[in-house]
Structure 1
Amino acid sequence: MKVFGVALPLLWATASIARPNGPSQAAFSAPRTWDSPPHPDATNHLVFNTVSSLLQRWQNTIYRNGHIIAAATIPAGTILYHGRTNESVPTVPEWLAFDFEHAYIFCRGPCYVISLMATRDLRLAYFDGSSAAKMQTGPMDTQDVVIRDKPVPGRKFDERTRIAKLCEWGKPFGVDGFVRMEFHFEVMLCDFTAGMEVVTLLNLVPLDWHDMSHPGPKRPPREGDPSPAPPRRRPNFPRPERPVGWKGSLPSARFRGIEALIAGSWHNQAPGETRVRIDYSGIVTFYNPSLTSLVEARRGLRRPLHRLAEISASDSARVHEELAEVFGRQSKGSGIDWGSVTHVVIERYSERLELLQYLLDPETYTNVTERAAEVRIQILTMLAPYITIDAVPATASSSNTSWATSIVHYCSTTQTSLIPDGILTPQERLIRDAVEGTLHEICRRLTLMWIDAFDIEATPERRKQEALGTWRFHVQELMEWLDWPVWAQCHPACGTDAICYVPSWPFFEEGDDPDDMTPRCVSRLRPGEPAEMQHLYQTSLSRDVGEVIG
C-alpha cells in the first residue's frame, strides 16, 4: 500500500515472533521504563483499534474478522426497512436494513418494502467486523462462539438456523435482535411485534433483473491480475411485469446494487452508523489478553488472519460467563463515551503522522537541513501540550534522558488519569488500559525522536542525515503497529462519479483477490458485474445464500 507515494509494507503487517510459549499475562503489566517498547503479545493497540472502529463500515470491511460483541440499543423513533416479494409482515425472525437502498435489492418479482418504526428502545447485541459476510475465513466466528461455543471449519452457512439460535440465546436477557455488517449494517430482528410498528407497506416499482443475465462492463485489467477465470453460467432472469402505464426503463438491479453499496459508504467513518448506540461499559472483546488460547493462536500472524477457531473450551466458557454478566446486569457503567476518547486520539495524531511520513521521504526534500527542521517542528507540535519548562536535558552533552519521562507520562495519561477505577466496569478498564497503552507507544516514539530533534538545528549535516533515517524507522514502525484503517485511502481521491472501494462481501469483482485491501476507485455510473453478487442474485437473495457462496 502507498501513502503519499511512499511505499510501505501493508499497514497491518507485523513481524513474525517465533516463541514456543507465551509469557504469563502478568508480564504484560510488569513495571517498565518510559522508553520500553510494548510487549509483543500485548493487545492494547488491537483493543483500541476495534473499539475506535465500532459501527464504521470502512474499518470493519478492511478487517472482516470481528473480535467484539457489544451491548447496544436502537433508539425509539428509528425507521428500519424490510424488502420482500409478498405483502405479509414477517412472523418469524427476519432481517431489517437501515437504509431503503439496502432493503430494495431484496425484491425480485413483486416488490414490497415495509418501513417500520421502533416504538421503544430496542436492546441488541452488535458483532463487529464484516459479521454478515458468508465466508469461511472468520467473519462469523464471534457468532459461532455464542451459539456453538467455537467456530466449526467448513460448516455451511445456514442463516435461518443461525438467527433462530441467536434469538434463543438472547431471549433470557431481553435481547430484541442483533446488528451485523456486510456491505451495509443490518438488524436481525427476533420479533416484529415487539417494540416495532409498521409505518408503510408499499408495493413498489419492481427491479429489472434481466440485465443481470448478461455481462456488464468489465473493469480495465490491473497489473498482477490472475489469469481470467472460466466464465460463470449466467442465470436467465425473466423480465419483470411493468406497472400499467409505466414508460421507459425499470430500475436496474445492477445499479441498485451499487446504490446499496453507496448507502453503506455513508457510514464509512466516525461517527459511523448513528442509529445504533454502543454501551461501552458492555463490550466483550476476544482481544482480552486473559484469553490465552487466542494469544497463542494469533502470535506472529497478520491481523486479517486473526480468528477464533482455536479458542479453548475454558476460554469459550469464560466468554459466555462475561456475556451473561454484561447482558444480565441492571446497572450502567461510568457513562464515559470511550468511542469519542479513541476518536480524539486518532484525530490528533493520524494526519500528523502521515505528514511526518511524507516529510521523511528522501524524495520530498533534497536539503537535509531544511527537512530536519521541518520534522522537528512537527514533532514539537504533537508534544507541545506536554513539554514543561523543566523538560530539558541538564547539559548539552548529557546522555541521561530521564528529563523526557514527564513528557511521556503527561502525553500518555492526560486522557484518562482522573477517571476513578471504581466507576468502571471490567470491560471499561480494559478499554482504559488500551487507550493508555496505545498513547504510551505513540508518545514513546515521538519522545525518542524529540530527544534527537531537540538540538538538531545546530548539529552537523552528517548527524542530521543519521537522525532522519532513525526517525523514518520510528514513524514507519509506529504506523504499522497502530494500523489505523483511516490511512487506507484512495490516492488520488476518487472523482464525483466514483467511490473509494475495498472488496466488500458480496461485491467482489471478477478476478479480484478478496483479501487485497488496496483502496481503488469504482464507477458509480458504469457498475460491472461482481462475481459473488451474481451468485447472490442467482439464489433469489435467499438468506441461506451461504449454502451457495460458502
Structure 2
Amino acid sequence: MCLWFHSLSIWTALVTISFAQNSTDGVRNANHVFNAIHAVMRHPILSEYPNGVSFFLATVPKGIQFYHGTGEEHPVTGLEWLAFEPEHSLGFAHRSGRRLEPSERETSQKPLQKEDPLASTHGYLHTYVSAKDLRLLYLDGMSAGPMRSLEAQDRILFNDSIPQNERPGGGRPGQRSEVEQRGKKLGGPPSEQARALQACQMAEEKWAGRIDGLLRTEGDFEIILCNFERDLDFVRISETKPQKSSGNDSHGPGGKKPGRMPGRAVTSRYDDVRGHQAIIDFDHVVSAYTYNLDLFPNNTKLPQLSHITPEELIPIQLAIDSMILNNEPSRSAFNWQAVTDVVIDRYSVQLRSVAEGDFQSLVALREKLETSLEPFIDYRDYQNSYAIIDSCQRQLIPQSAPDSGLASEAVRYILHRICTTFTYTLLDSQMDLETAVEGFAELVSYLSWIE
C-alpha cells in the first residue's frame, strides 16, 4: 500500500517546523557542527576538511603510552610534544639526531670534508606513560597542520598573537630556532614554539591549571604537554638507527613535516586512538559555527576566519574560558559521534540514490521511500506526519542521550531534516518527480557527507 496521497498542507507544516528549529542558535550551521562531531580524531576526514573551528574538552586516561623524538638522551622536563605512535616520533628523532664526530665514522681514507654533507646521525626515541588522567583541550581539524588549518587557534585561542611572517606550515627556510623554557631548550619552528609556550601559560594562569595541554592533529595525533615530569612516568630512551643527513633539514621537534608511519597508513588505526587513548567530551563543545559570523565568504568550501574582526571573536574566547573553568573533561559523556556514524551509515546511500534521480516514475520513488519509512508508520493513522517524523528521528538516538547541548541539538536537527524530507516526499500528493529529486539533491548538498 503506497501512501503518497495527502494534501499540500503537510509540507507547509513540516517546513514551519524546520524553519522554527533552524532559527535557534543551537542549530546554526547544524550541518557543519554535525560533520565536525563526525570528524573528531579521524584523520582521513580531517585531511579532506582541515579547517576546524571547534573546541572540545578531552581526556587521555592514566597508563596510556606515548613517544617523543629528539636529539636529547635525557628525560624531558617541562613543556614538549608527545605522539601517540612511535613511528610519528621516529621522524623527529631522525631529523633531530646529533652529527657524529669524525672519530665515530668509518672514514676509510675518504676526506672528512666530503663526508660532512651526508654525515650519519642518530637521535633518541623516548617512551612515557601518562601518570594520571590528562585533561586536554582538543582543537579540531588539522590543527597542527599548515596554512588556514591553524586559523582557529591563532585567531581565537591565541588572539592574533602568533607571528605570521613564516612560510606556511613551519619555520623559516633553513632556520632551526630554539627558546629557553624552564631551564631547557624548546625546539621547532618559531610559530610552534610560540603556540606551545602561550598555550601552557594560558593553562596555568588563565585557566587555573585545569588543562594539562592541547590535543591536535597533523600527520598523526599529538599533544602539546605542559609538564612532562608532573604528568608522565618515564619508561625508557632508545637510540635510533643512524640516518644520512642532507644538511638542509630545518624541522626540529614540534615542527611540520611529521614523521611518516612506514608499513601502515594512519587511516587504518584512527578508531583505536579515538576509542581508548583519547576520549572526547561531546557534552562540552564551543564552535565558531554557532556564532553570527560569515565563515564562508564568497561561498568558500572551507570555513575561514581571516576576515573576521578580533572583536567578533571575543564571545567565542569567553565561551572557551567558561567551558574550561566550569567543567571537567568527562570520560563518560554521551558519544554523539557514534550517533553520527549510524545516521550516515543508514541514510547516505539512500539519499544519494534518490538524488541521482534514476526513477522511471514518482510512484517508483515513493515505493522506495515507503520501504525506508515503513517501520515508523502506523497504518491506522498514516496521515500523522508528526508521528512518522518523530519515530524516524528517535530510532537512531538512544533514550539515554541528553536533550540539551550543541551536539544534541545539531544531531537531532539533522535527523529531523532527513526524516522530514522522506516523509514530505512520500505523503505530498501534489509533488512531481522533478521536485522530489531536487529536494533530495539539495539535502545531499547541505549535508556534505564524505563517503
1:309 to 306, 311, 316: 306
Q: Secondary structure of the equivalent of 1:34? A: helix
Deviations 1:46-103 (A, max 9, x none): 1111112111111211111101111101111111111112312223421111111111
Pair 1:117-2:129 in alignment: yes
Deviations 1:448-479 (A, max 9, x none): 32226x89xxxxxxx9xx52x33432232111
TM-score for the superposition, normalised by structure 2: 0.73
1:50-449 to 2 correspondences below 5 Å: 50-106=36-92, 107-108=94-95, 109-135=121-147, 138-150=148-160, 154-156=164-166, 158-171=191-204, 172-208=208-244, 259=261, 262-267=264-269, 272=274, 274-288=276-290, 291-292=291-292, 294=293, 296-298=294-296, 301-304=299-302, 306-330=303-327, 335-357=333-355, 360-361=357-358, 368=360, 373=364, 375-392=365-382, 403-413=384-394, 428-449=404-425
Q: Secondary structure of the equivalent of 2:333? A: coil
Please report how far the alpha carbon of residue 392 of structure 1 lies from its aligned counterpart in structure 2 after TM superposition: 3.1
Distance 1:405 1:284 in 2: 31
1:35-46 to 2 correspondences below 5 Å: 35-36=15-16, 42-46=28-32
Please report how far the alpha carbon of residue 444 of structure 1 lies from its aligned counterpart in structure 2 after TM superposition: 1.9
Distance 1:101 1:146 in 2: 31
Q: Which letter maps to 1:442? A: I
Q: Which letter maps to 2:325? A: G
Please report how far the alpha carbon of residue 442 of structure 1 lies from its aligned counterpart in structure 2 after TM superposition: 0.9
Q: Secondary structure of the equivalent of 2:261? A: helix
Corresponding residue for residue 108 of structure 2: none
Distance 1:355 1:197 in 2: 53
Structure 1 contact 83–111 (Cα < 8 Å) conserved? yes
Please report how far the alpha carbon of residue 209 of structure 1 lies from its aligned counterpart in structure 2 after TM superposition: 5.2
Q: Secondary structure of the equivalent of 2:413? A: helix
Corresponding residue for residue 501 of structure 1: none
Structure 1 contact 61–130 (Cα < 8 Å) conserved? yes
Distance 1:270 1:45 in 2: 26
Structure 2 contact 131–232 (Cα < 8 Å) conserved? yes
Structure 1 contact 125–179 (Cα < 8 Å) conserved? yes
Q: Which letter maps to 2:199? A: L
Q: Secondary structure of the equivalent of 2:375? A: helix
Corresponding residue for residue 480 of structure 1: 445
Please report how far the alpha carbon of residue 184 of structure 1 lies from its aligned counterpart in structure 2 after TM superposition: 1.2
Corresponding residue for residue 470 of structure 1: 435
Q: Secondary structure of the equivalent of 2:126? A: strand
Q: Against the structure 1 CA distance between its residues 205 and 372, is the aligned structure 2 distance closer, same or farther, given a 3 Å change threshold?
A: farther
Structure 2 contact 340–411 (Cα < 8 Å) conserved? yes
TM-score for the superposition, normalised by structure 1: 0.60
Deviations 1:270-316 (A, max 9, x none): 9846411011222111111xx22x1x353652341x12234444443
Q: Against the structure 1 CA distance between its residues 263 and 319, is the aligned structure 2 distance closer, same or farther, given a 3 Å change threshold?
A: same
Q: Secondary structure of the equivalent of 1:33? A: helix
Structure 1 contact 55–273 (Cα < 8 Å) conserved? no
Q: Which letter maps to 1:473? A: E
Q: Secondary structure of the equivalent of 2:228? A: coil
Distance 1:300 1:391 in 2: 46
Greater RCO structure (CA 8 Å; 6+ sep): 2
Deviations 1:393-448 (A, max 9, x none): 5xxxxxxxxx433322332355569679xx76xxx522222112111221122123
Deviations 1:170-220 (A, max 9, x none): 12233111111112111111111122012121012234456xxxxxxxxxx
Distance 1:206 1:405 in 2: 68
Q: Which letter maps to 1:58? A: P
Q: How many residues align?
A: 373
Structure 2 contact 355–444 (Cα < 8 Å) conserved? no
Q: Against the structure 1 CA distance between its residues 348 and 331, is the aligned structure 2 distance closer, same or farther, given a 3 Å change threshold?
A: same
Structure 2 contact 50–149 (Cα < 8 Å) conserved? yes
Q: Which letter maps to 2:334? A: I
Distance 1:261 1:324 in 2: 41
Structure 2 contact 135–329 (Cα < 8 Å) conserved? no
Deviations 1:481-504 (A, max 9, x none): 10112x2xxxxxxxxxxxxxxxxx
Q: Which letter maps to 1:408? A: I
Distance 1:409 1:103 in 2: 49
Deviations 1:353-401 (A, max 9, x none): 344456x347xxxxx36x963x4454223322321113435xxxxxxxx
Distance 1:479 1:153 in 2: 40
Q: Which letter maps to 2:42? A: Q
Structure 1 contact 352–378 (Cα < 8 Å) conserved? no
Distance 1:90 1:71 in 2: 25
Unaligned runs of 5+ in 1: 1-31, 211-234, 238-255, 363-367, 394-402, 456-462, 488-550
Distance 1:450 1:433 in 2: 26
Q: Secondary structure of the equivalent of 1:139? A: helix
Q: Secondary structure of the equivalent of 1:82? A: strand
Distance 2:420 2:339 in 1: 19
Of 48-57 and 84-93, more deviation after overlay is shown by 84-93
Q: Secondary structure of the equivalent of 1:167? A: helix
Distance 1:270 1:236 in 2: 36
Q: Percent identity?
A: 26
